[in-house]
A and B are shown apart, each in its own frame.
Chain A
Amino acid sequence: MNEASPGAAFISVLRRDLMLAYRHRAQILNPLLFFVIVVSLFPLGLDPEPELLHTIAPGVIWVAALLAAMLSLDNMFRSDFDDGSLEQLLLTPHPLPLLVLAKIVAHWLTSGLPLLVLAPVLGMLLNLGNESLFSLLATLALGTPVLSLIGSIGVALTVGLRGGGVLLSLLILPLFIPVLIFAANAVGNAGAGLDITGQLAFLGSLLALASALAPLATAAALRISLN
């Protein structure tokens, strides 16, 4: 039996997840549609005044991004858990945190990255200026991977449970708050012409911390959930 290297295992898990996502395109599209609809509800519910929209846009877009991430997170381990391939993943000789990281990367590529494409359009709908659009992209690029990373811990803890979705939001949303604060703040400040390197640096350090620790916690949680 020839042993694959951990790197090859990482690549093959990543490729498999991307392939599965590509075959189930609706599963990727639905959270994105949700994102668009939630954002477009705010002008209807509040006041379509350009000034007001400009003020609330960073927060609205980011809260919608958090909720969309919550929706897509539920699929991260669910189908693998149902068909038993998650157990096979745990049985491989490769380090589990690495394989988990591959799944997280795949999740981000299919849920976080599309948000980056959609966000500028929504930003224009909400009357964000050009500088704000750039900072919105920067914060989404740094922040959405953190959502996937932290979210994976919650998904791993709730994967075997009935009604896991609602529980997941209760566990994970409080942990998303720092990302929300710094990201929305950076976009707002960019609109006011202020410097945002501080916020971006903070988001970057959150990303570094989360990518170092979250796969370990997720792997431990998966081992517990599958017992």
Chain B
Amino acid sequence: MSIIPNWLYRLSSPKNFYRFAGTASVWCSWITLILVVVGLYYGLINSPPDYQQGDTTRIMYVHVPAAWMSMFVYMVMAGSAAVGMIWRIKASTAVANASAPVGAMFTALALLTGMLWGKPMWGTYWVWDARLTSELILLFLYLGYMALQSAIEDRETAARATAILALVGVVNIPIIHYSVEWWNTLHQGATVTKFDKPSIHISMLIPLLIMAVAFKFYYLSNVFQRARCELLEREKDKLWVRELLGEKNSE
């Protein structure tokens, strides 16, 4: 076990992970709150409107971080599902399962804010643009993952089956992404969607990055909470859960 650092090894036990996730979740929530307040202040109030898009550009401060997160969360989900499957680490599986709904939520948020932005900018809520389409397919992949997870009753089987699905998805995401992009350029040419992005001004970049970090911390706090619940349910017959409940009861 020399390749795995000792602290990581200890963290992989459900009991220790439960403790760690509880503390980490609280910290991440506070960081999220502070960053969101600061980021939204700079984004919504203290940054200039775009010279072409006006105030609509402020949707970007939610839209772009959500879109980034939608990809990032899938990778985290697949990675931790694979770790959970290979080394049978329950905490890792719990993180993977907890990531799916959060990732789906980010994807839906990116799509929704994109549509709201598209109406005033492009004059339509939806165009079959490459990015929109691959984001929509990503949402389908998340939903499929969650559907498979809820369809299999046995938790261990469900965890391993969904891990395979997530890995298949990881292989496919780049293929889907590039095929959709290619389809679009061959099909109709990027016309409406190709607004020449002038290199973003620093006054817009800073709130954008703050919001991106805030979303990351929101994801962490959320996923830790969900993973804690899942671990409790999964381990409800184990000694450490009983001790925990006993502690709570005697207090």
| Same assembly | yes
B176–A217 CB distance below 8 A: no
Docked complex Cα distance between A128 and B98 (Å):
49
Q: Which of B39-47, B139-147, B228-236 contacts A (4 or more CB under 8 A)?
A: B139-147
A158–B176 CB distance below 8 A: no
Is there a chain A Cβ closer than 8 Å to B164's Cβ?
yes
Within the complex, the shortest CB–CB distance from A74 to chain B, in Å, comes to 15
Docked complex Cα distance between A165 and B115 (Å):
32
Is there a chain B Cβ closer than 8 Å to A45's Cβ?
no
Docked complex Cα distance between A24 and B4 (Å):
54
Chain A residues near B75: list those with CB within 8 A. none
Contact of A167 among B147, B169, B180 (CB under 8 A): B147
**Chain B, residue nearest A194 (CB):** B186
Interface residues on A, range: 20 to 34
Q: With A153-B164, A221-B161 given, is the CB distance from A206 to B186 under 8 Å?
A: no
Is there a chain A Cβ closer than 8 Å to B8's Cβ?
no
B164–A157 CB distance below 8 A: yes
Contact with A along B167-198 (1 / 0, CB 8 A): 11101100110011011001100000000000
Q: Which of A9-17, A112-120, A178-186 contacts B (4 or more CB under 8 A)?
A: A178-186
Is there a chain A Cβ closer than 8 Å to B148's Cβ?
yes
**Chain B, residue nearest A162 (CB):** B151
B137–A227 CB distance below 8 A: no
Contact with A along B98-110 (1 / 0, CB 8 A): 0000000000000
Docked complex Cα distance between A220 and B147 (Å):
20
A221–B175 CB distance below 8 A: no
A227–B157 CB distance below 8 A: yes
A171–B144 CB distance below 8 A: yes
- Within 33-79 of B, Cβ neighbours of A (below 8 Å) are at none
Chain A residues near B182: list those with CB within 8 A. 181
How many residues in B have their beta carbons less than 8 Å from beta carbons of A? 28
A224–B175 CB distance below 8 A: no
Q: With A157-B165, A181-B182, A224-B157 given, is the CB distance from A170 to B175 under 8 Å?
A: no
**Chain A, residue nearest B159 (CB):** A224
Chain B residues near A164: list those with CB within 8 A. 151
Docked complex Cα distance between A174 and B187 (Å):
20
A158–B148 CB distance below 8 A: yes
Docked complex Cα distance between A174 and B171 (Å):
13
Docked complex Cα distance between A202 and B183 (Å):
12
Is there a chain A Cβ closer than 8 Å to B127's Cβ?
no
- Within 128-178 of A, Cβ neighbours of B (below 8 Å) are at 153, 157-158, 161, 163-164, 167, 170-171, 173-175, 177-178
Is there a chain A Cβ closer than 8 Å to B160's Cβ?
yes
Chain A residues near B147: list those with CB within 8 A. 167, 170-171
Chain A residues near B209: list those with CB within 8 A. none
Chain A residues near B175: list those with CB within 8 A. 178, 206
Is there a chain B Cβ closer than 8 Å to A213's Cβ?
yes
Chain B residues near A177: list those with CB within 8 A. 137, 176, 179-180
Is there a chain A Cβ closer than 8 Å to B112's Cβ?
no
A157–B161 CB distance below 8 A: yes
A174–B176 CB distance below 8 A: yes
Chain B residues near A181: list those with CB within 8 A. 179-180, 182-183
Chain A residues near B172: list those with CB within 8 A. 174-175, 178
**Chain B, residue nearest A161 (CB):** B151
Contact with B along A176-209 (1 / 0, CB 8 A): 0110011001000100000000000010001000
**Chain A, residue nearest B177 (CB):** A178
Is there a chain B Cβ closer than 8 Å to A225's Cβ?
yes
Contact of B144 among A174, A202, A206 (CB under 8 A): A174
- Within 10-46 of A, Cβ neighbours of B (below 8 Å) are at none
Docked complex Cα distance between A170 and B144 (Å):
6
B140–A174 CB distance below 8 A: yes
Chain A residues near B154: list those with CB within 8 A. 227
**A contacts, CB < 8 Å to B:** 153, 157-158, 161, 163-164, 167, 170-171, 173-175, 177-178, 181-182, 185, 189, 202, 206, 213, 217, 220-221, 224-225, 227
12 interchain pairs, CB-CB under 8 A: A153-B168, A157-B148, A158-B151, A161-B151, A170-B140, A170-B147, A174-B137, A174-B176, A177-B176, A202-B179, A206-B175, A227-B157
In the complex, besides A167-B151, A221-B161, 20 extra interface pairs with C-beta distance below 8 angstroms are A153-B165, A157-B161, A161-B152, A163-B151, A164-B151, A167-B147, A171-B165, A174-B176, A175-B172, A177-B180, A181-B179, A181-B183, A185-B183, A185-B186, A189-B186, A202-B179, A217-B164, A221-B164, A224-B164, A227-B154
